Amino acid sequence: MLVLWGIVALFLTVEPIGEGWAEDTLGVRPLLTIAPKDLHRILPPDSHILVDPRSIEQFLDALDTSPPDWGLVYGHGHHNPERDERLFRLNRERDAKRAGNHVLTQLITFVWFGELSRYDAEAGGFHVALGPEFTPTRWGVVRFKYEYFEGDLVAKASAALRDELELRLARGEPVGIIVAMTGRLIPEESLLYDFSHDQEGLGVIMPVVKLERLDYLLRPHKSDLFH
């Protein structure tokens, strides 16, 4: 996955999650040491895992059939006063066409990457600094967003693992984690089409998700994480 913008550090801090759990306990979760390729083993069996261009493209195909003509929508650039109107119209037309699509109610899982920061004894875990991922696809660049929820992001670790991680942090070594986010699209704002603020004419698609659970995985050093 290619990060096109700098990671936005979000220090959110929170007890285990699941169906029926309170929103303010959504982000406090155990830190798992399983291989990322085994992520499916801990998720609900009906969750669709969207962590690579191909799976994301298939998901968008099922939702909106085909990518927009970004060049037509962009026109002569961001200084063109009609561009915003074309973008607004694109979003409204696509919202109307996908109404009632069964994919809107599917359980999906996407990932962001982050790092552990300090250990908080009162919270019982490590605070998490988190940033979005931007995935290039044939649809454009995809950035999953999640609906804001109350509380912080805290990764809990066993005593032995905690000691090891605290030593790594004390040496100034970054401790990367994978944050798997599971939920469903918000029907009234399920997909947002926009343009990059950093690259002229680059289309950006933002699926907006209401989260139902989070899972923290210690990030290994290998680059091909999910295979």
**C-alpha 82: how far from chain center:** 31
1 within a domain of the structure (yes/no): no
100 within a domain of the structure (yes/no): yes
pLDDT at residue 100, as a whole number? 93
pLDDT at residue 73, as a whole number? 93
Query: Is residue 215 a contact partner of residue 17, using CB atoms and an 8 Å limit?
Result: no
223 within a domain of the structure (yes/no): no
pLDDT at residue 21, as a whole number? 40
Q: Which domain range does residue 171 map to?
A: 10-218
pLDDT at residue 217, as a whole number? 97
pLDDT under 50: residue ranges of the chain: 1-23
224 within a domain of the structure (yes/no): no
Query: Is residue 177 a contact partner of residue 218, using CB atoms and an 8 Å limit?
Result: yes
- Helix-helix angle 83-98:53-64, to 10 degrees: 80
4 within a domain of the structure (yes/no): no
225 within a domain of the structure (yes/no): no
pLDDT at residue 224, as a whole number? 59
pLDDT at residue 220, as a whole number? 87
Query: In total, how many domains does the chain have?
Result: 1
- Residue 154 CB burial class (10 angstroms; 0-12, 13-18, ≥19): buried
In the chain, % of residues over pLDDT 90: 74
- What residues contact 110, with CB distance under 8 A and at least 6 apart? 50, 51, 133, 144, 180, 181, 207, 209
The answer to pTM > 0.95 is no
User: What is the per-residue pLDDT across 175-209, written as a single tens digit (0 to 9) for each?
Assistant: 999 999 999 999 988 999 999 988 989 999 999 99
